[in-house]
Amino acid sequence: NAGVTQTPKFQVLKTGQSMTLQCAQDMNHNSMYWYRQDPGMGLRLIYYSASEGTTDKGEVPNGYNVSRLNKREFSLRLESAAPSQTSVYFCASSEKKVNQPQHFGDGTRLSIL
Amino acid sequence: RKEVEQDPGPFNVPEGATVAFNCTYSNSASQSFFWYRQDCRKEPKLLMSVYSSGNEDGRFTAQLNRASQYISLLIRDSKLSDSATYLCVVRGPDNDMRFGAGTRLTVKP
């Protein structure tokens, strides 16, 4: 019953370093999402992949890239980390059908110094 | 204008109270709607989907008004364990899922 698995759970980076956050789901879902959540705020959509082979920008895509490696995996890359990217990052997946909710991973807590 | 807007809160209510949260969305082509609950520093978890005819799950009732682009959540007989942040979520026409900023609820003894 793994559901959505994110790695790592915690990471500290220095400004300018690069990093890839990994996400995998075992529910055979078509759609996958990356969000960031800053203190006291809701989740903001960074990128999403409605189905394997497609990716689209969300609300806050600047400074990020994504790869939908296969149906199971959707990674988020920070090419040159900035302190403004300090946040909690959540990955989610859902079936690509109306009324199907999302399932979330536990989150990655990322600090950039 | 944000695509999904919620009451800013916070709401502080006594046990047993009834509390209502509101949410509006801007894209009239939005497909489906949900309420999620988030506990401090945890991942969001589905509370309930929102159907056009309205739906109820125990003490929780969700309503949708497509004409006004408005969603609501009513919690009756509040429990201490209902203390959390409640997030309104809207699935757009491109299968993007957008969140409101959340409304924090604290239920006090």
Residue reference for tokens 């799950």: B57
Burial of B8 (0-12, 13-18, 19+ CB in 10 A): exposed
pLDDT at A111 over 90: yes
pLDDT value at residue A40:
76
pLDDT at B97 over 70: yes
Among A44-48, A85-89, B49-53, B79-83, name the one with the lowest average pLDDT: B49-53
Indicate yes or no: CB of B34 within 8 angstroms of CB of A42. no
Distances from the Cα of B38 to the Cα of A87, A101, B65, B84, B103, angstroms = 16, 15, 24, 6, 10
Which residues of chain B make contact with A42, given a CB cutoff of 8 A? Answer: 6, 87, 99-102
Q: Which residue of A has its CA nearest to B94?
A: A50
Round the average pLDDT of chain B to a whole number and report it: 93
pLDDT value at residue A57:
95
Considering only CB atoms, A33 lies closest to which of B43, B49, B97, namely B97
pLDDT value at residue A99:
78
Which residues of chain A make contact with B91, given a CB cutoff of 8 A? Answer: 98
The arithmetic mean of pLDDT across residues B12-30, rounded, is 95
Of A76 and B52, more confident:
A76
> Hey, what are B65's tokens?
């008004």
Indicate yes or no: CB of B96 within 8 angstroms of CB of A94. no
Quote the minimal CA–CA distance from B76 to chain A in Å: 24
Distances from the Cα of B93 to the Cα of A70, B30, B31, B96, B98, angstroms = 23, 5, 6, 7, 11
> Hey, what are B47's tokens?
């509370």
The arithmetic mean of pLDDT across residues B70-78, rounded, is 97
pLDDT at A25 over 90: yes
Indicate yes or no: CB of B96 within 8 angstroms of CB of A45. yes
Q: Which residue of B has its CA nearest to A56?
A: B96
Considering only CB atoms, A107 lies closest to which of B43, B91, B95, namely B43
pLDDT value at residue A1:
61
Indicate yes or no: CB of B45 within 8 angstroms of CB of A104. yes
